Amino acid sequence: MTSAADSLTEFEVKVESSLHEVGPPRSLGQDAWRRFKRNKLAIFGLVLVIFLLLVAIIGPFLVDDPTAQSTALREKPTNQHWFGTDQLGRDVLARVVYGVRLSLFIGFMVAIIAVIIGIVVGALAGWFGRWVDSLLMRFVDILLGIPYLLLAFALIAVVGRGVGAVILTLALTGWLQTTRVVRAGFLQVKELEYVEAARAIGVPTRRILWRHILPNAFQPVIVLLAIGVGSAILAEAALSFLGVGVTPPAASLGLMISEAQSSFSTAPHLLFFPGLAIVMTVLGFLLVGDGLRDALDVKDE
């Protein structure tokens, strides 16, 4: 007959064996990366983003001057000009490479500035509540009710054209969604017991905000940051296409499409290559953002 001590020993052995199979505890980042890797589309998007980043960093050292003109006008792709030349004899490959670099720069700058503004406004609204929340969120609702292009055109009419103006315009119109997400996170987290305990023992408000509430409300912001880069790139291309974005002779993907739209029947490569670059860039960041959303959502486990 098995004794209680022998049964306890067998139970401890099984528990240790189960813990050994489970493995060492993982951090939140490790768990998120493990879930992210299971998403094939997210990995594909990450590969696209890494490739485009390498193009933006290394590409300018491997191509010609994007503003240099030649006598070969609207030349189709050849061994000398892999993507052909445009209506001014400029190398399309060089302009696409520099256009990708400019688009990524604008996209990252717009997303970072918009996230910073959104975090500040959303944190103020969510933490203080009452009339502060009502005032800030009604202002956000008013801006959300204005058509995006109309608001962008109005801002550009004030600040002018150029890369800096595009970044400022897109950042000032892109923080609204982040504000709503951060506010919702603050409203939820600030009512938790550990926040109430921190306030009860006299922890400074600034420390509570930055050390206890913001990290727990920041996960959705990471997703918005990734998606925001792609959205800003697409918006910059749209503004440049409409003639109110980046000014010539800068190599902008949207500007390249705008200049080539009249040559579609005779030189389709002038539209195809910059259009493909825009699709790859936006698709890559959207897939990464979607993968991050699933990876950071622990409720799916």
* DSSP SS3 for 94: helix
Mean pLDDT of the chain: 81
For residue range 201-218, list pLDDT tens digits in order.
877 777 777 777 777 777
Residue closest to 178 by CA, chosen among 205, 143, 134, 146: 143
Q: What percent of the chain has pLDDT over 90?
A: 17
How far is CA 192 from each of CA 99, 185, 218, 227, 296, rounded to the nearest angstrom?
Answer: 47, 11, 16, 29, 20
**Neighbour tally for 259: CB within 10 Å:** 20
For residue range 83-100, list pLDDT tens digits in order.
888 888 888 898 999 999
* DSSP SS3 for 105: helix
Total domains present in the chain: 1
7 is a domain residue: no
Q: Which uninterrupted H or E stretch holds 161?
A: none
Q: Which uninterrupted H or E stretch holds 274?
A: helix 269-296
Range of the structural domain that residue 112 is part of = 51-63+84-300
* DSSP SS3 for 265: coil
For residue range 108-139, list pLDDT tens digits in order.
999 999 999 998 898 888 888 788 888 999 99
Q: Indicate whether 298 pLDDT > 80.
A: no
pLDDT confidence band for 47 (50 / 70 / 90) = very high
Structure tokens at 182: 């951060």
72 is a domain residue: no
71 is a domain residue: no
Residues 183-210 have a mean pLDDT of 78
Lowest-pLDDT choice from 22-36, 50-64, 74-88: 22-36
For residue range 220-268, list pLDDT tens digits in order.
888 888 888 988 888 888 888 887 888 877 888 888 888 888 777 788 8
pLDDT confidence band for 53 (50 / 70 / 90) = very high
Q: Indicate whether 15 pLDDT > 90.
A: no
Write phi, then psi, for 64 (nearest 5 degrees).
Answer: -80, 175
5 is a domain residue: no
Contacts of 269 (CB under 8 A, 6+ apart): 76, 77, 83, 84, 92
For residue range 55-69, list pLDDT tens digits in order.
999 988 888 888 888
Looking at residue 258, which CATH number applies to its domain? 1.10.3720.10
19 is a domain residue: no
Q: What percent of the chain has pLDDT over 70?
A: 89
Q: What pLDDT shows up at residue 105?
A: 93
**Neighbour tally for 296: CB within 10 Å:** 19
238 is a domain residue: yes
10 is a domain residue: no
What sign has the CA pseudo-torsion 90, 92, 95, 99?
positive
3 is a domain residue: no
